Amino acid sequence: MAEKRDYYEVLGVSRDATDEEIKKAYRKKAIQYHPDKNPGDKAAEEKFKEAAEAYDVLSNKDKRAKYDQFGHAGLDGQAGPDFSGGFGNLNDILRDLFGGGFGGFGGFGGFGGDDSQRQGGQRVYKGRDIRVRVRLTLEEIAKGTEKDIQIERNVPCPDCNGKGARNSSDIKVCPSCKGTGQIKRVVNSFFGQTVTYSTCQQCNGEGKIVTNPCHTCSGTGLIRKKETVRVRIPAGVEDGMQLTMRGQGHCAKNNGINGDLLIVINEIEHPDIKREGNNLIYTKVISVPEAVMGATVEIPCLDGKYNVKVEPGTQSGSVIRLKGKGLPTVNGYGTGDMYVKFIVWIPKKLSKEEKDIMERLAKSESFRPNPTKEDKSFFDKLRDMF
């Protein structure tokens, strides 16, 4: 097993963090990594365990003092909660952290639903994701870029801090369900006693009712706001790829969990350059004299123009490779190439004089097709491309 990480580092707090700061840090980690939220994700589970252990020690005066003095050795194996009975309900963990009721962060319930979900207690809300398209040129994709994106999202109402009422005295525990959000019904029948739970009608399962709703947000706790988000787009992205900015989507009511901002890449087709994976393909049309006698031609790559040599005797359809002039891979390993395909332009109209020259050339031995073995294999390759 790897060496244990420093508990303060695990929670991301300083050595002189207050109990409240430690609580808050653990709450953040628990929401992020709890197995309820990451089913089947072993890495997240390990992170959750690590955070729970760190919190177990740092939230206990005795253990923290020992840890501060002697490090991990000072705890002599007594660190960390026991997970043999499962990880516990995230809802319960969060409630324990903040003493229940409606102080602190209010009621947290389950996670996972698109809008809200209940897990045994009150409702927790999850903000919806926002999906935006970003159109990028190949030049932008080659270098990576930053884009300012306009979005309109739900944010906590500034007048009531997202609570739906300006004064906390205007938020009351629901009298019907006593704050649980659920109504218990016990039915006695011939087969015995059946207990059923249903969502409380009076509070809509929230466990609390707002008696005097905030005017700004009509009690929803959220307002619509236009915002500009700067998005960093790495080099090498492809059309249809989706980048996720966690927590940058809609905020949720009652300090729930923010949705994500999903950025979908749209590649604007380049007028001259075709993309194939990380390679680029450019077709250069050259003249008959250039193909016959050789020349230097200009090739527009994404990072500028380059002079490229056309060898004397270049066949129409032949391809040269400009190494490293393609696109970088999005994970940063390696770069594609640019392939330049030469097409020889055959004139369609000739002057009398040009015709005379062509007729003379036609009699010349050099102009009679006489492909070598090498040429033949090149023509075969061309044929296979179609």
Binding residues for Zn ion (CB under 5 A)? 157, 159-160, 174, 176-177, 200, 202-203, 214, 216-217
H or E, element range at 124: strand 123-125
Question: Measured from the CB of residue 172, what is the shortest distance to Zn ion in angstroms?
Answer: 10
Locate 310 and state its tokens.
């056309």
Whether residue 267 contacts residue 323, with contact meaning beta carbons closer than 8 Å, is answered with no
Nearer to Zn ion, 216 or 283 (CB): 216
Query: In sequence order, what E strands does 234-348 have?
Result: 242-245, 261-267, 273-276, 279-287, 295-301, 304-310, 319-322, 338-345
Locate 286 and state its tokens.
């050259």
Question: Measured from the CB of residue 204, what is the shortest distance to Zn ion in angstroms?
Answer: 8
172 CB-contact burial (10 Å; exposed 0-12 / middle 13-18 / buried 19+): middle
Question: Measured from the CB of residue 123, what is the shortest distance to Zn ion in angstroms?
Answer: 10
Question: Measured from the CB of residue 252, what is the shortest distance to Zn ion in angstroms?
Answer: 14
Nearer to Zn ion, 143 or 172 (CB): 172
Whether residue 210 contacts residue 233, with contact meaning beta carbons closer than 8 Å, is answered with no
Q: Amino acid letter at 55?
A: Y
Q: What are phi and psi of 156, to 5 degrees?
A: -55, 135
Question: Measured from the CB of residue 154, what is the shortest distance to Zn ion in angstroms?
Answer: 12
Question: Measured from the CB of residue 162, what is the shortest distance to Zn ion in angstroms?
Answer: 7
Question: Measured from the CB of residue 212, what is the shortest distance to Zn ion in angstroms?
Answer: 11
CA 262 to chain centre: 6
Nearer to Zn ion, 51 or 251 (CB): 251
Whether residue 236 contacts residue 328, with contact meaning beta carbons closer than 8 Å, is answered with yes
Question: Measured from the CB of residue 213, what is the shortest distance to Zn ion in angstroms?
Answer: 8
Hey, CA dihedral for 224, 228, 229, 233, is it positive or negative?
A: positive
Nearer to Zn ion, 216 or 316 (CB): 216
Nearer to Zn ion, 27 or 208 (CB): 208
Nearer to Zn ion, 43 or 186 (CB): 186
Locate 307 and state its tokens.
């002079």
Q: How far is 242 from 330, CA to CA, in rounded Å?
A: 12
Nearer to Zn ion, 115 or 159 (CB): 159
Helical residues (DSSP H) of the chain, grouped into ranges: 7-11, 19-33, 42-58, 61-70, 90-98, 138-143, 288-293, 352-362, 373-384
Nearer to Zn ion, 159 or 238 (CB): 159
Question: Measured from the CB of residue 220, what is the shortest distance to Zn ion in angstroms?
Answer: 7
Nearer to Zn ion, 31 or 157 (CB): 157
What radius of gyration do the chain's Cα atoms show?
34
Q: How far is 97 from 104, CA to CA, in rounded Å?
A: 9
